[in-house]
Amino acid sequence: MQTLKGPAIFLAQFMADEEPFDSIDHIARWAADLGFVGIQVPIGNPAFIDVAKAAQSKDYCDELKGRVAEHGIEISELSTHIEGQLVAVHPAYDELFDGFAPEAMRGNPAARTEWAIEQVKLAAKASRNLGLDSHVTFSGAFLWPMMYPWPQRPAGLVEAGFEELAKRWRPILDVHDECGVDLCYEIHPGEDLHDGVTFERFLDAVSDHPRANILYDPSHFVLQQLDYLEFIDIYHERIKMFHVKDAEFNPNGRSGVYGGYQDWIDRPGRFRSLGDGEIDFVSIFSKLAGYDYRGWAVLEWECCLKHQEDGAREGAEFIREHIIRVTDKAFDDFAASGVDQSMNKRLLGL
């Protein structure tokens, strides 16, 4: 068994124009002061990483790692959530998701998709040059508008959607394989990969590609009322990344899983800062340790109530307290009687 690495923090909710959130150097110092030892870095802001340069230059990557190491910080993984989302977009969301793309791509879905695919491939090469073996993304979605089966879905529609999704992602997965990097899909509502069944459909469509893996975030399963502990038992071999994010689900006589179009603070399912929700992290960390999870424990702060800097400060300590330093001996070794093959045979009556 191996002890989980961490705590690390996902930077997406903290990157901003003002210090200390305006550059990778400043935010690394801030994260270290809070007790983090790793940062998970989105690729879209050149003040944090120039992904095209990182994909081409190991020297640039070494220099970047050295700058954050001065603060006692490692880059844990890269993120292409925004770019992965744009690999597959249903036309109903074209205008909303155009804001995720460079201005030159807006209004041109084909160009936007081509750009997004290239960005995720660059992230694979950048991860390799940074010495990283995992990278997180979203799958995008063709089928999400048809998530609820009304009107009745035509026969073959779901299969056609996953066939096209696999067609777009397989070349990206192949690049990740060439780079020795696992591509971890965050299983997330709004994506075609939003639960275990949909992940399995995708695996079938990409012929069980070895680089198609999972970022595990239990908060999204609480909001779907999915058994987040059994999910680990089923998919632990594919879980290569971990977002530590809390949530709660408080259904009532007026609203449930779908949320009634309400703001986050009024929805039955709400994201909360670590320790403020209902997730059993003691069991999660125990299961991951038992299954020899070798990656990072990364805080993703999302909360409808608590200030993000308070959530980050408390989250670093929360993760540190939950990481299990795995043992290198059995608790009953003191009573061991030694190895004696002849005695073993006698005890078995052989």
For the chain, give the percent of residues with pLDDT over 70. 97
Evaluate whether 1 touches 287 at the Cβ level (below 8 Å): no
Does the pLDDT of residue 91 top 70, yes or no? yes
Fold adopted by 5-347? TIM Barrel (3.20.20)
Better-scored residue on pLDDT, 90 or 341: 90
Region for 140 from its dihedrals, namely left if φ exceeds 0, alpha if ψ lies in -120 to 50, beta otherwise: left
Q: Residue 334 pLDDT more than 80? A: no
The Cβ of residue 108 has, within 10 Å, a number of other Cβ atoms equal to: 14
Token pair, residue 5, equals: 């690495």
Predicted pLDDT of residue 178: 98
In this prediction, residue 343 has a pLDDT band, given cuts at 50, 70 and 90, of: confident
Start-to-end CA span in the chain (Å): 34
Band (323; pLDDT cuts 50, 70, 90):
very high
To the nearest whole number, what is the mean pLDDT of the chain?
Answer: 96
**Both tokens assigned to 35:** 């007790």
Q: Which amino acid is at 214?
A: I
Return the closest-CA partner of residue 120 out of 179, 73, 66. 179
- Asked if residue 287 lies in contact with residue 239, where contact means CB atoms within 8 angstroms, the answer is no
pTM here? 0.94
- Predicted pLDDT of residue 336: 66
Cα atoms found within 13 Å of the Cα of residue 125, Cβ hemisphere only: 18
Residue range 278-303: mean pLDDT, rounded: 97
Residue given tokens 């935010």 in the structure block? 27
Please give the C-alpha separations between residue 132 and each of 47, 112, 301, in angstroms, as whole numbers.
20, 27, 23
Q: What is the DSSP letter of 89?
A: B
**pLDDT-based confidence at residue 342 (cuts at 50, 70, 90):** confident
Instruction: Summarize the confidence of residues 72-91 as an average pLDDT.
Output: 98
